[in-house]
Structure 1
């Protein structure tokens, strides 16, 4: 599969620290895709050990077979191109069968070029988590190696001098919401998948469910998470209810039977509402 044709498995994408190889398989059992993290989840002192753990795990025959057969479920987040750790990450990834790489703190198409120069065959998930990255996210999304876009809140707020991405009630501040919408729109405009950011409070299950449902309804292809217990909540939020599926089917049936404008249950149905119904059925897997 060429990088431009690569997709991810979703909707629940789980981060896993690269220095905890004992968690790799467990993460893959719980999530649709796993991001093995060499960046924020690993201290500088543990980064080389984490790389060696990653290599050993990938070289294990049973894992190697899985990676070859189902590469879209295993993503590695490297350190940023400006980091002192980037070169060593590139060296280790040249020797393992990883086909999708997440590039953190992506701020320009040139950052993607630096990664692709080292790993020409990989598909790239560009993580925009600074003011510069969000501002140039359309250019980044248009890069041919990029298959998905993700945004990040905490690094974004740090980059603009803030210190909290959320209000006391857990909702995002307006600046974070603006970045979230910008990356989503630019990913969609470029025909690329989109990943909603993590919710770090894994004890707030109702807040996560609300946020994941909003991500699904807004058009995010996937949502990332940091705890295995969050995967089921995300899947449930992304799954349309039986009532929603029935409504969408009935609406499309009424449209197909009509020769003109349709008044469906008190609502005039136009093309956007038809596409909403089609998107919902597509998301549900129903026909």
Structure 2
């Protein structure tokens, strides 16, 4: 799946095809985006959806809720076999979903603490974190500063959780998905956060509005100058034929070359 993942509420089936056209992958949402009284219809919409299963996943409710059992029953009637599990933390419950490729959404204190072990499970293909549910699970009120010079920036606990999940995913060789940027009108803030996600190693970022997709894609797409610089560096490495060499006044070794290869990988459609 590409870098821009777009949530689509399952109670709004008219949005499914548009979401698929505008994003790299769609997350059909049976959880927070759907009111309790609309969940039954949302499940029916999901089961009848004809989007490509290769670029579609379904977010189900937390596995310790009654809604999750109903979600899974509806999924069994659908073509979709990649799911995102909300508020994941229970290893045994995730293991039992062996017929699915699972993205664990670690958005509680228990989920972040369990991320390292969740990432090791064979049916887990990715990990995502969620800021607001995490802070709520701690009894807090906001994941970001709301006033002053740091307004809009994550608080320390959210940054730690974000880093902890990224490290857990990386250590297990699984993709890490960065959390949503809730202020969908603030595209500049989204661009800054997306650029940090790319530089830090997140493989994708979730979006809640179609206008965010282009911003995320731009962040993940290297500039022509970056691609040219990476190609020049790798050519110089081939010519040097040594493990460490000097290039334009700097010493270059394995990690620097890996960064260059990753730049070229992101430049390939």
TM-score by length of 1: 0.89
Q: Does 1:79 align with 2:61?
A: yes
Q: Does 1:51 align with 2:43?
A: yes
Correspondence for 1:123 among 101, 104, 117? 101
Residue 269 (1) aligns with residue 246 (2) = no
- CA distance in structure 2 between the aligned counterparts of 1:149 and 1:231, rounded to whole angstroms: 20
2:33 is aligned with 1:41: yes
2:8 match: secondary structure: strand
2:262 is matched with which residue? Answer: 279
Indicate conservation of the 8 Å contact 2:47/2:79, yes or no: no
Indicate yes or no: 2:227 matched with 1:227: no
Candidates 194, 197, 202, aligned match of 1:215: 197
The answer as to 2:230 corresponding to 1:248 is yes
TM-score, normalised via structure 2 length = 0.95
Number of matched residues?
264
Q: Does 1:137 align with 2:115?
A: yes
Tell whether the 8 Å contact from 1:194 to 1:222 is kept in structure 2 after alignment.
yes
Q: Which runs of 5+ in 2 are unaligned?
A: none
In 1, the alpha carbon distance for the partners of 2:83 and 2:113 equals 22
CA shift, 1:259, in A, is 4.0
Residue range with higher mean Cα deviation, 251-260 or 139-148: 251-260
Q: In the alignment, which residue of structure 1 is the partner of 2:152?
A: 170
Conserved? CA contact 1:108–1:139, under 8 Å? no
* C-alpha distance in 2 between matches for 1:188 and 1:276: 15
State whether structure 2 residue 3 is matched by structure 1 residue 11.
Answer: yes
Deviations, residues 28-58 of structure 1 (Å, cap 9, x unaligned): 00010000100000111111111112223x3
CA distance in 2, matches of 1:72, 1:201: 29
Structure 2 match to 1:28: 20
CA contact (8 A) 2:145 2:155 kept: yes
Bigger shift: 15-24 or 102-111?
102-111
In the alignment, structure 1 segments of 5+ residues that lack a partner are 1-8
Confirm or deny that 1:101 pairs with 2:83: yes
Give me the whole-angstrom Cα distance separating, in 1, the residues matched to 2:90 and 2:116. Answer: 10
Question: 1:198 offset after TM fit, Å?
Answer: 0.2
Q: What SS does structure 2 have at the residue aligned with 1:85?
A: helix
